[in-house]
């Protein structure tokens, strides 16, 4: 079944999250999967198990308590966010395999740009030389997934200093620009999405 890709531009976090919930509640076995490609104004999002102490001090940036897994993270201009509204029962794989494929898509996109990235079995996401460049958080409901991944392209990384990113104290965060690659968000999406599509369509397990 074809997957629909929607480029939504810069949109506020909360209405986008509510739209994902509505889409997931309304979908059925025949609903095509969708990928929503977005950028958000500055916002911290706190996962279901999120501990408030991981916000180190209050800032002017709003905090939204959301329903994905994981702890606190930051979204802002210059970060590519791809939300995956996917019926993973249809794919016939487990959640860990889905996470692994999403991570691998970022790793493959980085490799195309000449950067070596890696995952971490104990801390979902993608890292370059120990610094996090992509975060991942999902919610599963009725065999479908929503939320997705954020990929740091060319952003102000200072807001990460006010949190323990993804619940890890002193975790370094980086972006493509810091690594010497200057890309627009559109170009970054053009690099990442083919890898994501290929891995979501794969019939071979990575793990």
Active site (catalytic) residues: 166
Residue 137 has which token pair? Answer: 């958080």
Ligand-binding site membership of 9 (annotated): no
Reported in sequence order, the residue ranges of the chain that DSSP labels E, i.e. its strands, are 4-10, 34-39, 43-46, 63-65, 72-75, 79-87, 126-128, 131-141, 144-152
Ligand-binding site membership of 72 (annotated): yes
Ligand-binding site membership of 56 (annotated): no
Ligand-binding site membership of 150 (annotated): yes
Residues 6+ apart with CB under 8 A from 34: 3, 4, 5, 6, 23, 85
Ligand-binding site membership of 162 (annotated): no
Ligand-binding site membership of 196 (annotated): no
Phi-psi region of 157 (alpha: psi -120 to 50; beta: other; left: phi over 0): alpha
Ligand-binding site membership of 7 (annotated): no
Ligand-binding site membership of 125 (annotated): no
Q: Phi and psi for 49 in degrees, rounded to 5? A: -95, 15
Ligand-binding site membership of 202 (annotated): no
DSSP state string for 56-83: -S--SS-EEE-SSSSSEEEE-TTEEEEE
Binding residues for substrate: 68-75, 135-137, 148-150
Q: Which residues are documented as binding site?
A: 68-75, 135-137, 148-150
């Amino acid at each position: 079944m074809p997957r629909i890709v929607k480029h939504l531009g810069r949109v506020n976090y909360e209405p986008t999250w509510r739209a994902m919930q509505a889409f997931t509640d309304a979908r059925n076995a025949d609903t095509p999967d969708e990928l929503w490609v977005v950028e958000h104004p500055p916002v911290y999002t706190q996962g279901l198990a999120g501990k408030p102490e991981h916000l180190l001090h209050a800032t002017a940036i709003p905090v939204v308590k959301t329903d994905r897994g994981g702890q606190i993270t930051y979204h802002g201009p210059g970060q590519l966010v791809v939300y995956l509204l996917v019926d993973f029962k249809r794919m016939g794989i487990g959640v860990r395999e889905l996470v692994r494929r999403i991570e691998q898509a970022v790793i493959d996109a980085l490799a195309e740009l000449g950067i070596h990235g890696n995952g971490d079995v104990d801390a979902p996401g993608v890292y370059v030389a120990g610094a996090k460049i992509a975060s991942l958080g999902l919610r599963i409901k009725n065999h479908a997934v929503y939320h997705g991944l954020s990929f740091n392209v060319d952003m102000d990384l200072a807001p990460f200093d006010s949190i323990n990113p993804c619940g890890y104290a002193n975790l370094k965060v980086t972006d493509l620009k810091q690594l010497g690659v200057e890309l627009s968000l559109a170009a970054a999406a053009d690099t990442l999405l083919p890898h994501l599509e290929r891995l979501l369509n794969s019939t071979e397990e990575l793990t």
